[in-house]
């Protein structure tokens, strides 16, 4: 990722507090961490908003109530021999 030097004006108390909280070694690392978290948070908000807007119908919701049969196709495996009894 390309980095670019910029000049910004910040509240020093906020920077110092954030730097301590994320245990960053520099102001740049603090800002980088803050931007990463902001991006993830806003992406999550967007994803949740899209999910909530997509209302599922009764048929789609009923799929979640269907029984599921789990078949590992491992009837020929002797697990007691492999792992021992009384595990």
pLDDT at 53: 80
**Where are the alpha helices (H) located in 1-87, listed in sequence order?**
12-22, 27-53, 58-63, 79-83
pLDDT given for residue 1 in this prediction: 72
Per-residue pLDDT of the chain (87 residues; tens, 9 = 90+): 788 999 999 999 999 999 999 999 999 999 999 999 999 999 999 999 888 887 778 888 888 888 888 888 888 888 888 888 765
Question: How much is the pLDDT for 74?
Answer: 87
Q: What is the pTM of this model?
A: 0.57
The secondary structure of residue 23, as a DSSP letter, is T
Report the distance separating Cα 33 and Cα 18, nearest Å: 9
């Amino acid at each position: 990722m390309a980095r670019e030097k910029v000049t910004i004006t910040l509240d020093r108390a906020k920077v110092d507090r954030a730097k301590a909280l994320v245990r960053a070694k520099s102001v740049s690392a603090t800002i980088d961490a803050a931007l990463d978290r902001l991006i993830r948070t806003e992406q999550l908000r967007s994803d949740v908003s899209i999910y909530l807007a997509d209302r599922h119908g009764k048929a789609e919701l009923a799929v979640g109530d269907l029984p599921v049969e789990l078949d590992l196709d491992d009837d020929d495996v002797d697990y007691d021999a492999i792992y021992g009894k009384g595990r």
